[in-house]
Structure 1
Amino acid sequence: MERYEILKKIAAEIERGEVSFPTSAVVALKLKRALDDPDCPLDHAARLVQAEPLLAAKVVAVANSTVCNRSGRPITDVRTAVLRLGFRYLRALASAVVSRQLAAPATARDRELADRLWQHTAHVAALAQVIARRVTRLDPETALFAGIVHEVGAFYLVSRTRDHPGLLDEDFPAWSESGEAEVGRAVLKALAVPQPIVDAIEVCWQGFLAMPPTTLGDTLLLADELAPVESPLRDLDGCPREGMAASIDLLVGEETLRDILRESAADVASLTAALQA
């Protein structure tokens, strides 16, 4: 079967609900759905977080990042961390755990792909939050969430190499075309990701950055271009982007984008480290 046909088959399976999530991802999904209820009690949310060790560690780590804890006083318990972050942040972090746990790589090479993909994701999410706050003036938490889930389809494909050996071989040409979008849309739909986030990810897939950037899609694409770790699957498609980030010098008031990112470097480093914890 041709690889593009395999991608279509995988997307169709997801559309039919034939997608399985690891136990930790199921807990994170349960938390995400509970937090969709604005009346969800804080203690209930904290108990759900505590039920998944990876999520609990990530919540406490992010709550202690310089972005979220300007006082510098360490937070050492889940309930306080949940209170500090709020439910919208928790939904984003729950999605992070789902993304990370989707991939169950079969080989050492696939594990390396998954690790690099997560490093890329963490950098994009952290940069998107800073760019939203300082450049495009959009909601930083929404931008963080978009960055966390923008490669979720790629994580799922890494997990399917067990069933389709060679799917992500180095001469894989379909990833940058409609196959990426088909699988990505299907997984995003299965995770009930809001349509504005999906629309922003579509902009990232298309690769067209408006100047000056103003939308969530622009924010996400700019973060993707500036991330120091590139998506490993982009290396497989044979068509790397042509160094857009190297030529970016966007004037924002009296500051350049580079100045803003330099000033925010500590925040980006802190949040990236917390997301990768």
Structure 2
Amino acid sequence: GTLAAIGARGEATAAELAEDEPRLRTQLLYAPGKKYEAWQSISTRLLRVLGMEGRVVRGRPRGSWTSSQFRWALMPAHPELPVAEAQSELLRRRLGSCGPATEADLKWWTGWKVTDVRRALAAVGAVEVELDEGAGFVLPDAVEPVTADTEPWAALLPGLDPSPMGWQQRDWYLPPELRAPLFDGAGNIGPTVWWDGRIAGGWAQGRDGVVRWRLLADVGREGAAAVEASAARLQEWVGEARVTPRFRTPLEKELAGPAPARK
């Protein structure tokens, strides 16, 4: 029914599709018994499943870039890859952008069985390298370590950014003592402050639009100045837009400030 509604409209938001297919308004209780349990309509989750099955694609949002009302369209015809080939290609891209990674990292990130991970590693010719936490893997063209000198750098990354979410073992860039204020109860990481390749704090946009940040580790005067400059660039880029995080973390909520009083 949903596919028929999309086909008739060409593209549409979940709310628009629910006008044509009322069953999309069905409410289900997700994560019962958890702190984050909630009643939600099935529309968004169904559309995501259809997307993962390669049957629909998500287009641009309705309104500004901060809108969560995305348009959906039917997926153009495309060839289906065999499962093993698809897994190998996904793993190749993963190592190419976020390598090296351990076998445990890859199993956690993909949700595959260990046998699937090992088969895909063999298919892409992954090379084993020694990491502080044990054996890791890189693509054949990334065996040699990067030797070019780079200047220390600062960055403010958004919540759920692939950099902090890309590995199961995070101690090499996120000290365990800094984790509690940066994650929500479901394991989602919030906005983070980085200094020279490691997470050093967090940030948030206040309800007044001001970008506020806090360091949880000592980065020295140079690091603090670089973080401040990075926050200023982010402030200029965001402008008048207001971004509401979907996953709230303790530090993000504290920095964002209390909700406005109801009149």
Comparing both structures, which one devotes a greater share of its residues to strand? 2
TM-score, with structure 2 as normaliser: 0.28
TM-score, with structure 1 as normaliser: 0.27
Bigger Rg, which one: 2
Higher relative contact order (CA 8 A, sep 6+): 1
Comparing both structures, which one devotes a greater share of its residues to helix? 1
